[in-house]
Amino acid sequence: MLTLLRLLEDGRFHSGQAIGDALCISRNAVWKQVQRLESELGIALNRVRGRGYQLASPLVLLNDAVLRDKGLSDIWPFHIYESLDSTSVEATRLVAKGVEPPFLVLSERQTSGRGRRGRIWQSPFGVNVYSSLVLRVQKGARQLEGLSLVVGLAVMRALRASGLNEAGLKWPNDILVGGKKIAGILLELTGDPADVCHVVVGVGVNVNMANAEGIEQPWTSMKLELQRMVDRNEFICVLNRQLHGYLSRHAELGFAAFQEEWESNHLWQGCEVMLASGTQRIEGMVLGIDRVGALRLSVSGVEQRFSGGEISLRLRDDRRA
């Protein structure tokens, strides 16, 4: 199916005969492959008698040669998949097989993509960026302090470099544009955090997605904001150059070096919010973050600090938790 998609990627009509000749299959087999594209991958096609098949919407597939030519392999090794349950799960499998970090896992789609708090991350074929970067951490848990917030800065900078100047941060792991989520981050740890461990940095970015069902919060995409298709290969390289730079500085300097930069880009700085942790609900005003990335809230005039992966933050007038 991927070979067929690459033929159709140019956006033109291709006759069943021409496709069959290119793939060395019969026209009946071409029809079956088209059926699979639509049913299994959700790819919509135009069919016109006498002209053939055409993608109903433009598609920019991940391309190993293009990514190498744009310098991704100079940053770290990478692996591209047509379909995965989850890039983070595959990254963990590769570590178990002995693949040496750092390395990057990319996929055209995820069948079981995950966000924070066990939520499903919508992962349709060929439209967004689904990536997981594996790093080895050798100096204990201190190297992990504020790591997800630093990754957020890198994602935000990549989005701004691509034309989304309004991209900003929401504690702890979201990137928003116009109050809508455009990207999220999920960190997972394996090994001994007191010694040598591996951290899987999962990043999902809505790139060319124009519609989706079942998303529980306002969302947007690069395509919707920029009003044009975005080359995912180009954006992946921009993103990983930012990640490499920020992660290198974080390993050397620690999170405290990024505290001021992060706060200056936090969209909810000074806002009245509601924090939810399990059954607990706390209202307060965002003061900022501390030197390890914990959220500082003024609660009834008293500063309190919060951290942890199961915390949800909402503006006070938005009661969803």
Peptide bond into 101 cis (omega under 30): no
Q: Tell whether the torsion through CA atoms of 54, 55, 58 and 63 is positive or negative.
A: negative
Q: Based on the residue annotation, tell me whether 314 is a catalytic residue of this protein.
A: yes
Give every CB contact of residue 109 below 8 A, 6+ residues apart in sequence.
41, 82, 83, 84, 123, 124, 125, 126, 130
- Which one is catalytic: 160, 180, 296, 314? 314
Percent share of the chain, pLDDT over 70: 93
What per-residue confidence (pLDDT) applies to 130?
A: 96
To the question of whether residue 293 is assigned a binding role by annotation, the answer is no
Q: CA torsion sign, 247 to 250 to 255 to 258?
A: negative
DSSP 144: G
Active-site option among 181, 223, 232, 241: 181
Q: Half-sphere exposure of 273 toward its Cβ, with a 13 Å CA cutoff?
A: 22
Q: Determine the average pLDDT of the residues in 295-299.
A: 96
114 is in an annotated binding site: yes
Q: Which residue has the tokens 């016109």?
A: 48
Output phi, psi for 80, to 5 deg.
Answer: -110, 135
Q: Of the ranges 50-64, 107-121, 256-270, which one carries the lowest mean pLDDT score?
A: 107-121
- Residue 319 appears among annotated catalytic residues: no
Which of 70, 109, 116, 157 does the annotation list as catalytic? 116
Q: Is 110 annotated as a binding residue?
A: yes
Q: Count other C-beta atoms under 10 Å from residue 197's C-beta.
A: 18
Average pLDDT, the chain: 90
The mean per-residue pLDDT over the stretch 209-215 comes to 76
Q: Which residue has the tokens 């740890």?
A: 189
Element (H, E) at 37: helix 27-40
Here the tokens at position 310 are 């199961």
- For residue 181, how many other CB atoms are within 10 A of its CB? 19
Query: Are β-strands 103-107 and 295-299 bridged in parallel, bridged antiparallel, or unpaired?
Result: unpaired
Question: Does 309 or 266 have the greater pLDDT score?
Answer: 266
The answer to whether residue 177 scores a pLDDT higher than 90 is yes
Lowest mean pLDDT among 134-143, 233-242, 265-274: 134-143
Dihedral, CA of residue 82, residue 87, residue 90 and residue 94, to nearest 10 = 100
Question: 92-138: per-residue pLDDT in tens?
Answer: 999 999 999 999 999 999 997 665 544 555 678 999 999 999 999 88
Please give the model's pTM, rounded to 2 decimal places.
0.90
